[in-house]
Structure 1
Amino acid sequence: MSQKTSGWIMKQTWEDLLFLHWSVNRSWLQSMLPPQLEVDTFDGKAWIGIVPFEMTHIRFRGLPPVPFASRLLELNVRTYVKYGEKRGVYFFSLDASHRAGVSIARNLFHLPYFRAKMGKKREGNQISFWSSRTHKNANKADYHIIYEPVGEAYETTKGNLDYWLTERDRLFIVREHNVYQGKIKHHKWPLQQVDVAVLRDTLSQTYNYHESFITHFSRSVTTYLWPFEKLTKTPGSPIE
């Protein structure tokens, strides 16, 4: 990772991560976004992704990992957007298995996290990952997927679709009509091809899902997260 990591506030390791993406109509996707953000496209196509993974070694800067809160499972639905010349990720939802982690993310970072009952099981290289949303007053969403990486790991090349879908260094949220960015740094994803079987899915129905999807797998990457910055007013001001 060429960028300096000074100033980060949280460190995490993401493990057994699957990217499952499908293309969608650009105009439809724009209607799903806050008006402050613009759909980002690759060769004219807009994309939505579902990303299940395990998060471990979670800690805030200057503090040791908390034993009962240093790992969780997560399942997010995301897309790719622009704010001016800045490109990043926008999350429609993030389901997680840890009640306190969900509460912190919703209240401190204002991200759309939801509590869920989740599980992960590995048999050899095959991973079974399942989730059932339990968050009060939230839409129900169940997801069960089996995936198995195949072939050797490789690094993405800038200009290719797999690089465009995976190598993002910021996320956006919109709160009270203001746009905020949160920067994320990590080494380039070590990606592998992956065989996938979706066994149950009531999560993606809202997002024009179709089975012509593309997939990538990454075994592990360590990430650093920075405080959110407000972009619509004074850059560098902390999230309110």
Structure 2
Amino acid sequence: MPPTPQPDPEPSPVRSPHPITADAPERIPRPLLTQSWLDLTFLHWAADPADVAPLLPSGTVADTLDGVTYVGLVAFRMHRVGWLGLPGVPYLGDFPETNVRLYSVDAHGRRGVVFLSLDASRLIPVAVGRLGFRMPYVWSRMDIRYDGTDTVTYTSSRRWPGPRGAGSRITVRVGERIGEPTELEHFLTARWGMHGAFFGRSVYLPNAHPRWPLHRAELLDCDEELVVAAGLPEPDGDPVSVLYSPGVPARFGRPARPGGIRTP
């Protein structure tokens, strides 16, 4: 009789999370996955760590700044997704995406993000991500529209698995380039990995990319249902942070357990 699978241990107390840095802490010479994130808008609301705790993977706790954590709604264009060093596929690897994310830290002190949902407009990548890797991808109708040189609108409406029709509409006007991000802007964007559950195991997936070119942005329109659909309370008021970036290329390394042990 095969042994009974054991659940991941409860997260150990985090005594000294890694410092927040604007540059990736490690190089990834042989990436598992490559892609570029283009034309990004970051919206963030403050949140109570107790509200997000039940939604975090085993082995992690909410990452906080001055006792507060954050919920992010990030809309962008995925470009040239490629696996194992192969060049990105022009059609299947290019699509709009909008994700709902939380901020996490594990017992090893590594800060990361946790994706509660990832709406994307290409069915095959959604099916691979959802069925193959158990990531919360959702197939949605999506569009990114540019009005002049400084205004961007992102729209989405869910197709499968739902809730059908749930979506978002976000319009921002891009402002001045940020010379030196604030402590909060670093906290929200300088994330060098993701925590998640793959094949039933909690893991940390590191990434590396150039320093973010960030702009402040004015939120002109925000009509969204994705945060509540992800299991969170409805955001209270306007976002506390609105940022834009033209984007960066990114490389993902091999996964590791939250305690720091590489998976086989």
Same fold by TM-score greater than 0.5: yes
1:192-203 to structure 2, matched below 5 A, reads 192-203=215-226
The secondary structure found in structure 2 opposite 1:229 is coil
The secondary structure found in structure 2 opposite 1:237 is coil
Matching residue of 2:169: 144
In structure 1, list runs of 5 or more residues that go unmatched.
Answer: none
**Cα 1:25–1:6, aligned 2, differ >3 Å: closer, same or farther?**
same
In structure 2, list runs of 5 or more residues that go unmatched.
Answer: 1-22
Q: How many residues align?
A: 235
**Cα 1:165–1:182, aligned 2, differ >3 Å: closer, same or farther?**
same
Deviation of 1:145 (Å): 0.8
**Cα 1:110–1:155, aligned 2, differ >3 Å: closer, same or farther?**
farther
**Cα 1:44–1:199, aligned 2, differ >3 Å: closer, same or farther?**
closer
CA distance in 2, matches of 1:69, 1:176: 24
- Higher mean C-alpha deviation, range 148-157 or range 221-230: 148-157
1:16-55 to structure 2, matched below 5 A, reads 16-55=39-78
- 8 Å contact kept, 1:155–1:188: no
Deviation of 1:215 (Å): 1.0
CA distance in 1, matches of 2:184, 2:95: 29
- 8 Å contact kept, 1:189–1:221: yes
Matching residue of 1:81: 104
- 8 Å contact kept, 2:59–2:258: no
Residues 163-210 of structure 1: CA deviation (Å, up to 9, x unaligned): 011000010113576320111111111110101133422222342312
Deviation of 1:99 (Å): 0.6
Q: TM-score, normalised to structure 1's length? A: 0.89
The secondary structure found in structure 2 opposite 1:4 is coil
Matching residue of 1:131: 156
* 2:211 is equivalent to residue 184 of structure 1: no
Deviation of 1:19 (Å): 0.8
CA distance in 1, matches of 2:44, 2:61: 19
Aligned-partner residue type, residue 125 of structure 2: G
CA distance in 1, matches of 2:164, 2:68: 28
* 2:229 is equivalent to residue 207 of structure 1: no
- Higher mean C-alpha deviation, range 40-49 or range 168-177: 168-177
Matching residue of 1:235: 261
Aligned-partner residue type, residue 130 of structure 2: R
The secondary structure found in structure 2 opposite 1:18 is strand
CA distance in 1, matches of 2:31, 2:139: 26
Matching residue of 1:97: 121
* 2:35 is equivalent to residue 12 of structure 1: yes
CA distance in 1, matches of 2:179, 2:200: 40
CA distance in 2, matches of 1:231, 1:200: 35
**Cα 1:62–1:90, aligned 2, differ >3 Å: closer, same or farther?**
closer
What's the C-alpha RMSD, in Å, of the aligned pairs?
2.1
- 8 Å contact kept, 2:39–2:245: yes
User: Greater strand percent: which structure?
Assistant: 1
Matching residue of 1:216: 243
